[in-house]
Structure 1
Amino acid sequence: MDELIRTIVEPLVEFPEDIKVSREENERGLTYILSVNKEDMGKIIGKKGRIASAIRTIVHAAGRAHQQDVQLTIQE
């Protein structure tokens, strides 16, 4: 799942070396935490949050394909 998130995010940012993906397990399932360079934050969120929403939808769907509840959090 880390690689999926990186594959989606890398073409969107100017500083791909600053992409960090960490994983946290909780009672609801898995939560992936995405961190990017501060200058790339707007590109990841997009207008009205559309890009962030699309990335979250893809990650959630990929998790469902593996019978897992997966969420994505974008950290500033």
Structure 2
Amino acid sequence: MKTITLKADDSFFEKVTQLAKALKLSKSELIRRSVAEYEETMKRRELKEQMRQASMRVRKSSAEISREFDNTIADGLDEL
């Protein structure tokens, strides 16, 4: 296992220490889990953005199809 050295101010160090104690984890395990959870959060955000963009493309396509149908509503009615 590799070692990472982290410089932290007293406040951050205390927060990590207290949270690790409350969760009965080592500070290292707390930080490992925190980084893994942050990575998952970022992946979910990216996926949501991709879904939003796909939805906008579908919305645009649906609007174009709807306009095309609207333009054909009266087709052939002049002959009646």
| Structure exhibiting the larger radius of gyration computed from Cα positions | 2
Q: Give the number of the structure whose residues are more often strand, by fraction.
A: 1
Higher RCO by CA contacts (8 Å cutoff, separation 6 or greater): 1
Q: Give the number of the structure whose residues are more often helix, by fraction.
A: 2
TM-score, normalised to structure 2, is 0.28
